[in-house]
Amino acid sequence: LRLTSDYTSSRPHRLKILVYDPDEGQLVRISLPLWLVKKGLKQEISQSRPSDHLDFEFESQAFTRALSVLPRGLVAEVWTDREKVLLWLE
Lowest-confidence pick of 25-29, 33-37, 42-46 = 42-46
Q: For residues 34 and 88, what is the distance between their CA atoms, to the nearest angstrom?
A: 11
Does the residue 31 lie in any domain?
A: yes
Using DSSP's 3-state secondary structure scheme, residue 48 falls into coil
The answer to whether residue 63 sits within a structural domain is: yes
Q: How many domains are there within the chain?
A: 1
Give residue 62's domain range: 6-89
Q: What is the pLDDT, as a whole number, of residue 2?
A: 44
Q: How many helical (H) and strand (E) elements, i.e. helices and strands, does the chain have?
A: 3, 4
- Evaluate whether residue 48 is within a structural domain: yes
Contacts of 33 (CB under 8 A, 6+ apart): 13, 14
Is 33 within a domain?
Answer: yes
The pLDDT-based confidence of 46 (bands split at 50, 70, 90) is low
pTM, to two decimals:
0.68
Position 18 in a domain: yes
Instruction: Name the H helices within 1-71.
Output: 6-9, 34-46, 60-69
